[in-house]
Structure 1
Amino acid sequence: MPHPGPRLTVIDTDPGIDDAIGILLALASRDFEIAGITTVAGNIGIETTTRNAGRLLAFAGREDIPVLQGASAPLSRPGPEPLNLHGRDGIGGVALPHPTQKPGSQDAVEWMEELLLAQPAGAVDVFALGPLTNIARLILEKPDAAKRIGRIIAMGGAVHEHGNVGPRSEFNLWADPEAASAVVASGLPLVLIPLDVTRRVRATREFIAALGASGKPLAAMVGSLIDSYFESAANRESRPLHDPCVMLYALAPELFRIETLRLSVDTGSVEGAGALTIDELGSPVDVALGVDGAAVLDLLARRLTQER
Structure 2
Amino acid sequence: MSKNQDTEVRWGILGVGNVCEVKSAPAMNLIPNSKIAAVMRRSEEKVKDYADRHGISKWYTSANDLINDPEVNAIYIATPPNAHLELAKLAASAGKPVYVEKPMARTHAECLEMIKVCEQANVPLYIAYYRRELPHFLKIKELINQGILGEIRTVHINLKQKLDASLITKVETNWRVDPEMAGGGYFFDLASHQLDLLDFFFGKITHATGFASNQAKTYEAEDIVTGSFVFESGILGSGNWCFTTSENAEIDQTIIYGSKGKITYETFGKGEFTLETDENGIEKFSFDLPKHIQQPLIKTIVGDLLGTETCQSTGISGARANWVMDQLVKERVF
Shorter-chain TM-score category?
0.3 to 0.5
When the two structures are superposed, what TM-score results if normalisation uses the length of structure 2?
0.37
Q: Which has the higher strand share?
A: 2
Q: TM (normalized to structure 1)?
A: 0.40
